[in-house]
Amino acid sequence: MLLITCPYCGVAAEETELHGGGEAHLKRFGPDSSDDDFTGYLFHRENPKGVHFERWRHVNGCGKWFHAARCTNTLEVFGTYSAQTTEPPKDILDTIRAKRPGFKWRDIA
Amino acid sequence: MSDVALALGGATFDGLVKIEELAHGMITLRGDLTDKAIVAAVKDVFGVTLPGTRETAFAGSTGALWMSPDEALLLCPYDEAQTKADDLAAKLADAHALVVNVSDARAVFQLKGRMLREVIAKLAPVDMSPDAFTPGMVRRTRMAQVAAAFWMDDASTARVVCFRSVAAYMFGILSTSADDAAAVNHFAG
């Protein structure tokens, strides 16, 4: 079972109280972008065994979207952070680097 | 004032706890809950200071529940809800806020009895031990398959709010959970 702490209401919410929103920190490519960029934005997703950054919504709760960094292999949650950011905060990255030396996720390492 | 038409007509159930559907005035307030103008207007109309994260605040028959960083549910007697909503909306005309009377869009059930922690714990993914959940806290969560919010007024009274459209479902699961034959006696006292 996955327990993720919502950064907005502070509840350690159980998985059924949340809804997954897919990969985090996608850069949107819309009209006027190249076909390659648009394809990448639309279809190409990371599917790691290990460290992953995701969007979640506290749907049966405060209703807020937020980000979570977790390990897809052990279900360990490294931390959660605000949705209003385009990259993971430094303290979360430091936590992950300490626990998973050498991890790589897209261009974050 | 038109007659109150409760979703289940004030249904009651007597088991491990006494369940009763209540008529309740409920007003949704959306806006920055730390905004001084909003806090002052709520204090003026409802007589309570907006509560902090996951807390409740009560002053007699009125109260306020923290719903999210930008949402509060304000409580009052059913027949005062529209007047209070209009009053608050007028006071917040210049603020970035939204006030809506949702009394008829929600259903409220009161649970009374010392087994209420167990009745709720069977339905919601929430730690209901007396150390973890106390009167003065509110929790938005799910109960079985529907969204709900509940809080405890005191050690033997709790109120549960859900959408009116799922009131019959909520009453059904609460009654099942509170069936005399369904006691687990998990929480002492």
**pLDDT tens by residue, B102-114:** 999 999 999 999 9
Tokens encoding A69: 């960094």
- One of 3.40.50.1820, 3.40.640.10, 3.30.70.1520, 3.90.1150.10 is the CATH number of B25-104, namely 3.30.70.1520
Q: What percent of chain B has pLDDT over 90?
A: 96
CA B57/CA B135 separation, integer angstroms: 10
pLDDT (0 to 100) of residue B162: 97
Tell me the per-residue pLDDT of B36-76, one tens digit each, with 9 for 90 and over. 999 999 999 999 999 999 999 999 999 999 999 999 999 99
Across chain B, what does the average pLDDT equal?
95
* Closest residue in chain B to residue A63, using alpha carbons only: B68
| pLDDT at res. B102 | 97
Q: Please give the pLDDT value at position B1.
A: 55
User: Region B79-83: what's the mean pLDDT?
Assistant: 96
- Beta strand A12-14 pairing with B106-112: unpaired
Note whether residue A107 is domain-resident: no
Helical segments of B92-188, H only: 116-121, 167-177
- Write down the pTM of the prediction: 0.91
> Residue A9: which of B54, B125, B142 has the nearest Cβ?
B54
Question: Per-residue confidence at A1, pLDDT binned at 50, 70, 90?
Answer: confident
CB pairs under 8 A between A and B: 34
ipTM of the prediction greater than 0.90, yes or no: no
Structure tokens at A3: 């327990």
Of A10, A59, A60, which is closest to B54 when you measure between CB atoms? A10
The pair of structure tokens assigned to B125 is: 């993914």
pLDDT at B79 over 90: yes
- The answer to whether position A106 is within a domain reads no
Cα distance from N-terminal residue to C-terminal residue, chain A = 27
pLDDT at B189: 54
CB contact under 8 A, A63 and B68: yes
Domain that holds residue A82: 3-99
Q: Is the pLDDT of residue B28 over 70?
A: yes
Distances (CA, A) of A105 to A10, A25, A68, A96: 27, 11, 14, 11
Quick check: A14 and B53 CB within 8 A? no
* B89 min Cα distance to partner chain A (Å): 23
Question: What is the domain-level CATH number for residue A79?
Answer: 3.30.2270.10
- As given in the structure block, the two tokens for residue B173 are 């699961």
A85 CA: distance to closest CA in chain B (Å): 18
Decide if A10 touches B, using CB distance below 8 A.
Answer: yes
Q: Does A16 touch chain B (CB under 8 A)?
A: yes
Chain A residues with CB-CB distance to B139 below 8 A: 11
Give the pLDDT confidence score for residue A109 in this predicted structure. 86
pLDDT at residue A13 greater than cutoff 90: yes
In which band, very low, low, confident or very high, does the pLDDT at B3 lie, cut at 50, 70 and 90?
confident
Q: How close, in Å, is residue A35 to chain B by CA atoms?
A: 39
* pLDDT tens digits for range A16-59: 999 999 999 999 999 999 999 999 999 999 999 999 999 999 99
Q: Is residue A104 part of a domain?
A: no
pLDDT at site A103:
93
Contact A17 B147 (CB under 8 A): no
What's the CATH fold of domain B105-179?
A: Gyrase A; domain 2 (3.30.1360)
Domain ranges of chain B: 25-104, 105-179
Q: Closest residue of B to A14, CA-based?
A: B125
Within 85-104 of A, beta carbons closer than 8 Å to B belong to none
**Per-residue model confidence as pLDDT tens digits over B169-183:** 999 999 999 999 999
- B68: nearest CB among A17, A60, A62: A62
Chain A contact set for B54 (CB, 8 A):
9-11
Tally of domains in chain A: 1
pLDDT band at A63, cuts 50/70/90? very high
